[in-house]
A and B are shown apart, each in its own frame.
Chain A
Amino acid sequence: MSLPDFPVVAALEAIAACERLSAQLPHFADSLEHAAAVARRDWEGPHRESFDHRVAAADRVLRHAAGTLGVLRVRVADEQHRPR
């Protein structure tokens, strides 16, 4: 049961937004991996190594954020049961 002044519609929209973005982020990570694979063809040298580190860092954030959004979704859903 939700509290009387709780914005239920906004909360449901926020939950849906979390789910949407959570589903999109792995695709962004996959697209980045594809772009990186295109560059890596015959690319050798120190710039390539630096590139690999930066791609890996971005990939980690994108995939980790997908999980974080799941937590955020739960928090939004939990808000309506919190005393105000």
Chain B
Amino acid sequence: MTSTRCSARPDALLDCASETELIVSELRGALIAFDNTVESFVFRAHGLFAALTWTDPLWSVVRALEDLADTVAAIAMAFEAAGGRGASGRSDLISSDAATIDRWVTSASWRPTNNLQPGMAGAWAAAALGAYCHSQGDAGYDGSGFLIGPDGRSYPLVAPHVTRDGHRVNADDHLVAGQPSVLDLDGRDPGWSTIYEQIGVERWRDEPGVGGRLLAAIGSTAAGPPTGSTEQDVDAVAIAPGQAPTLRRQLTPTPVPQPSPPVYAPNAPVVPPPNVPDVLYPNGQTSIAANGMNIGPVVIDGLIGFAHADLGSHDAYDVVFQSNRDGRIRALYRRVFVGFDDSGDAELDSVYVTGPERNDQVPIVYAPRG
């Protein structure tokens, strides 16, 4: 069996991908302006239907160049991974066989949320800790499940923690090179290097079906319509290795109407009416029409809940695969959720995913910046 050798510098390919994306952006702007003008002319000269049939063949080039930029970036990342990320710089010339690069390119379609697996406690401990015993109260790892990586290997999911100045922290923020890192338990478990990292936005739960939406609708009738983030909100989260997440732009919550007040809610008078001190309020609302009007707001809340049931279904994620000098491998899978407080300000919550179940997660407390 022969292997085809190939070589490239990842940073050169990434520069090309960036330049191509810029060309795509400018070309798209130019075509939109052009189409608007031409469509306006065709509409005025030949009518609406003629304008609708106008198609600009240049849009196929925009799509082709978008695809080209994505491919080149994926190949760059593939060369970087093949060269052993961290072992060589992005500007180094990396040689590999083409099949390896193809495997890494294919891994670009890999998503962590589809590759979680449960693990037996013994299997997880053996894989994550090996011959070491790092869970000693003030520092250690939580976890239970595994993540099947793009390379097909099973990586134990770990959530590290250390105690500093009496406070338990789970991740670094603006880690300075040479400073103690939570990821190696402040030096107690050294020797880790990153093999591969993927950062993106994912749907962490399926889009609710009719049943799920009905449940949300029923819940809304009691607790009010749900509040939550959209995929676009989550897309504004900036994640970088060794840093707490931040927002790239200001967010405003998706407008959801306030819970509807009941139509009839008269307060009991301070002084009860004479002769009928035990009267119940609202009084006299026993007609079908009145009851129907009272049900109206409940139905409205239910409909709003039905429509907004999918809010909060996306997160930003950062998954890092690492190997240790002693042969262990592991994955750190961080999810960042966007929510809104009562005043409408965006809030970010981070967790480590430690297994496939919804409660297989450890809230992250970031270490104060040094």
Q: Is residue B285 contacting chain A, with contact meaning CB distance below 8 A?
A: no
Within the complex, what minimum Cβ distance (angstroms) separates B1 from chain A?
A: 16
Across the interface, do A62 and B34 meet the contact criterion of CB distance under 8 Å?
no
Complex CA distance for A40 and B35, rounded to whole angstroms: 34
Question: For B41, what are the chain A residues with a Cβ–Cβ distance below 8 Å?
Answer: 7, 10-11, 13-14, 76
Which residues in A have their C-beta under 8 angstroms from that of B13?
39, 43
Known: A36-B16, A43-B9, A44-B8. A13 touches B40 (CB 8 A): yes
Among A6, A31, A32, A62, chain B packs the most CB atoms within 10 A around the CB of A32
Give min CB distance, B2 to chain A, whole Å.
Answer: 13
Across the interface, do B45 and A58 meet the contact criterion of CB distance under 8 Å? no
Which one, A28, A42, A62, contacts B93 given CB within 8 A? A42
Prevailing SS type, chain A contact patch: helix
Look across to chain A and name the residue whose beta carbon is closest to the beta carbon of B7: A44
Chain A interfacial residues counted at CB < 8 A: 40
Interface string of B22-44 (1 = CB under 8 A from A): 11001100110110011011001
Q: Is A71 an interface residue (CB 8 A)?
A: no
Q: In the complex, which residues of chain B have a beta carbon less than 8 angstroms from the beta carbon of A7? A: 41, 44-45
Determine if A58 and B61 form an interchain contact, defined as CB atoms under 8 angstroms apart: yes
Q: Are A45 and B98 in contact (CB under 8 A)?
A: yes
In the assembled complex, A81 has its CB within 8 A of some CB on chain B: no
Q: Taking each of B5, B19, B31, B64, which has the highest tally of chain A beta carbons within 10 Å of its own beta carbon?
A: B19
Question: Which residues of chain B have a CB within 8 Å of any CB of chain A?
Answer: 4-9, 12-13, 15-16, 19-20, 22-23, 26-27, 30-31, 33-34, 37-38, 40-41, 44-45, 57-58, 60-61, 64-65, 68, 71-72, 75, 93, 98, 101
- Can you list 8 A-B contacts (CB < 8 A)? A7-B41, A7-B45, A10-B40, A20-B33, A20-B34, A32-B65, A38-B12, A68-B57
Q: Which residues of A contact B (CB under 8 A)?
A: 6-7, 10-11, 13-14, 16-18, 20-21, 24, 28, 31-32, 34-36, 38-39, 41-48, 51, 54-55, 57-58, 61-62, 65, 68, 72, 76, 79
